[in-house]
Structure 1
């Protein structure tokens, strides 16, 4: 079972968690491009019995749709640092779909969050002839329901209370999956608070370099993992060899990247919040920023939820700001030097986007910021200059 205490994320674990799977003389893992592997001479005419094989620690590989060296090693590291048993997928949305197949919910409780997951749910509904009611997170649950809790929330970076929703779901005979993409280890450990399954878009912080697509599901027991592995085999949604190699490479530095990104986001969000309401502050012109959202700016709610307790390892590195004018939101991403105007998040470089350009349901004034590992003072300087630049054309009207 998954532990109720969070594992400690260390460089030692990230570098050596897969040591027992390493064979040969090489230091860095090789990229295997083969899809199939030489079979041994069978002792008789019986077919290969995959039921008797340990696919978490395979003694040999049969076919890359089942296992291959590097993806198996990456899953071992992900399991160790997340406090459960991890399985990788071709993308975050592939992992989302696999979770729906696994739980086969009667209804889904979901409110807000990543529009891609909502669209994946719509595709899954289509496979059931549209027979999958959706309810809100705060509606009453029933046996067979699935609570789909994203925290921190995309795009605002606000935290939700995992323990509260887990207890609510379990009391009703429902299950809860936590999308923890915005808060990878060491920031948040959803199993500690009652999650039945944890999901990550590994494209983001586990990948960390804007160069791979990946999804991850983590479950508490080996029986859960085996079921997911079987489903993945026949859904055909495993990672490719190159992406698996890039993922393993990136995981080695997770403990260095994420805390730095977290500190940058906390510093930037708190700095920008001083100009919220349209105030001038520290070189930010008046009349630009309406609202800043970030978990570090949340107050304890009426139920006593304190985000810092759940986000025990630091604040999420991605958050959002609401500008006073949609034109400011359109111009800002393209007026900066150190922030790349692009979607996605979690890379070592800071990214920024007018969210409505990729999510039509977003407020056109909303800008999402993914903090990288640059120097915080350089980021502030860049934003000061850009804010002044985008205000000038409006001032002349």
Structure 2
């Protein structure tokens, strides 16, 4: 009987199998409804997904800048076309997608990040899955911003799910981890064989920390999602089209500090008069309630009225830590341009932790009031 990589007779070498890693992969696989493999980081998982499909066309738009850098590295020396998510997809020639492992000859790979970094808005996964498969291509969904139990991309026909396990799976800002999951066992085994060769496995201690975090993950994520939805509603009330609560000082209401708030709970939404980057290309009429069934992402974005406010606000808060990353138990806020050059400097990204929502709201009111008093 052929040995199965997830159930070896013995551990020969840690690059192949290791007890703690196997246990974590088993737990995560059940959480995601597929076969999961762990990697040394989210970007090493992204690189492994590209090496696995070996596409000659990649459809992608916006999203985490690190993935774009991985794609740039993959394209070096190869004849690869990068197209927009909504462009026409070239049909993959040769074997029909999904029937066997002979798919790595000029395939089209559709890379969908949903919810989207840094806005927390959801994209219509099933729509892009159907388009990818109609072109005999494949679709990978980077679901980092809405991990289980918030959404299940496999329900909508995706071929592979990617996560930066550093974020919500890790949950404590103390480990690096990447995750890929597939539903077909033959593809999982092939991916495991490739990982055994490229050596992109996580360290044993990081995997131990991951196992620790999985025990509380559903509790953490659901609480963070609920708090984020309440905070989004509060911040949205500060925009110029909304009426704020009576306890909000007039000087920080009516768009004087907050111009826009982005989050899946605000979808569908009209394209606003003032949009940034190419957000007008996103399908704002999409209702994500049937896709993100247990709450939106605990991470979301907002547009501040001017660059100076965006620069100082993160440092005037007490409960929020001005730092990059997301998914931990502490609430974080950052001026996104610091980590992602080229981003509109007025954009702030918030990652909600486990603090009480009323404490966060009081903190925001105090910080914005100080901001207006000192920088108007």
Q: Please report the TM-score for the alignment, with normalisation by the length of structure 2.
A: 0.88
- Kindly state the Cα deviation for residue 392 of structure 1 after the two structures are TM-superposed: 1.4
Cα offset, 1:277, TM superposition: 2.9
Q: Which residue of 2 aligns with 1:357?
A: 338
Contact in 2 for aligned 1:278/1:289 (Cα 8 Å)? no
**Gapped regions of structure 2 (runs ≥ 5):** 93-106, 271-282
SS class of match (2:13): coil
Superposition deviation, residue 281 in structure 1 = 2.9
Structure 1 residue runs of 5 or longer lacking an equivalent are 1-50
Aligned to 2:258: 289
1:267 maps to 2:230: yes
Q: Deviation at 1:216?
A: 0.2
Decide whether aligned partners of structure 1 residues 171 and 303 sit closer, same or farther in structure 2, where only a CA change above 3 A counts: farther
1:258, 1:245 → 2: CA distance?
20
Query: Once structures 1 and 2 are overlaid, which stretch shifts more, 348-357 or 53-62?
Result: 53-62
CA contact (8 A) 1:278 1:288 kept: no
Match of 1:298 among 251, 267, 273: 267
Alignment deviations for residues 102-147 of structure 1 (CA, whole Å, 9 cap, x no partner): 0100100001101010000001111xx1421100000011222100
Contact 1:330 1:354 in 2 (8 A): yes
Change (3 A) 1:141 1:55: same
Find out whether 1:179 has 2:153 as its counterpart: no
Matches for 1:378-393 after TM superposition, within 5 Å: 378-393=359-374
Say whether residues 1:310 and 2:291 are aligned partners. yes
Tell which structure's C-alpha radius of gyration is larger.
1
Match of 2:100 in 1: none
- Aligned-residue RMSD, C-alpha: 1.6
Question: Does the 8 Å CA contact 1:61/1:68 hold for their aligned counterparts?
Answer: yes
Distance 2:115 2:208 in 1: 28
Paired position in structure 1 for 2:20: 70
SS, match of residue 5 in structure 2: coil
Q: TM-score, normalised by structure 1?
A: 0.84
1:332 aligns with 2:301: no
Q: CA-to-partner distance for each residue in 1:25-77, whole Å, 9 max, x for gaps?
A: xxxxxxxxxxxxxxxxxxxxxxxxxx943220123211111111111100000
- Bigger drift between 296-305 and 69-78 goes to 296-305
Distance in 2, matches of 1:376 and 1:161, equals 29
CA distance in 1 between partners of 2:151 and 2:332 (Å): 22
Deviations 1:216-263 (A, max 9, x none): 000011111111111111111100011000001100111110000000
Give the count of matched residue pairs.
Answer: 343
Secondary structure of residue in 2 paired with 1:216: strand
SS of structure 2 residue aligned to 1:276: coil
Distance 1:295 1:329 in 2: 22
Partners of 2:370 and 2:284 in 1: CA distance: 43
How do 1:131-210 and structure 2 match up within 5 A? 131-142=79-90, 143=92, 144-210=107-173
SS in 2 for 1:77: helix
